[in-house]
């Protein structure tokens, strides 16, 4: 059975299966086999051909966006994004065969999430999340909407 392509509008399906573009031979990084946007749009589950599966909350994906708007152009420019506790993912847009652009309900749409970045976010989720909570606390910010400068 042929794999379905990524669909730009996730309301049409609850999950998509990605075609593996190469085998996992020769040390290639794990490749996603399925990306599932939860019905409530509050999380994305990404499964890899390595057997790893990660459920990544929309808030986590939004505050860790790989966009220059969030990450800056150098580490010193990285921003702490607050007030995103209830953010939702509106749309998934394929970017070539290597990434997705996520469109959030706060209209943030400039981050390109590569397969490697999804893998890094999943593998380091607990540490990244704690670092984020610590940054919020240190700056007096909140996860709640309207509570941050």
DSSP 8-state symbol, 10: G
pTM above 0.85, yes or no: no
CATH of 10-20+27-139, one of 3.30.470.30, 3.30.2020.30, 3.50.30.10, 3.40.190.10: 3.30.2020.30
Q: Which two structure tokens, joined as six digits, stand for 27?
A: 């040390």
Q: Which two structure tokens, joined as six digits, stand for 126?
A: 């607990």
Distances (CA, A) of 69 to 72, 91, 132: 6, 19, 16
List the single range of 6-15, 55-64, 100-109 with lowest mean pLDDT: 6-15
The confidence score (pLDDT) of residue 147 equals 57
The confidence score (pLDDT) of residue 76 equals 85
């Amino acid at each position: 059975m042929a794999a379905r392509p990524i669909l730009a509008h996730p309301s049409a399906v609850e999950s998509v299966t990605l075609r593996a573009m190469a085998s996992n031979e020769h040390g290639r990084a794990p490749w996603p086999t399925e990306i599932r946007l939860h019905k409530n749009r509050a999380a994305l589950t990404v499964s890899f051909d390595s057997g790893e599966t990660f459920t990544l909350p929309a808030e986590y994906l939004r505050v860790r966006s790989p966009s220059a708007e969030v990450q800056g152009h150098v580490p010193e420019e990285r921003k702490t994004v607050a007030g995103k506790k209830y953010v939702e993912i509106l749309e998934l847009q394929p970017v070539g065969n290597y990434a997705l652009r996520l469109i959030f309900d706060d209209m943030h749409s400039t981050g390109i999430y590569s397969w490697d970045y999804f893998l890094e976010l999943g593998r380091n989720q607990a540490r990244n999340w704690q670092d984020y909570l610590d940054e919020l606390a240190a700056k007096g910010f909140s996860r709640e909407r309207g509570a941050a400068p």
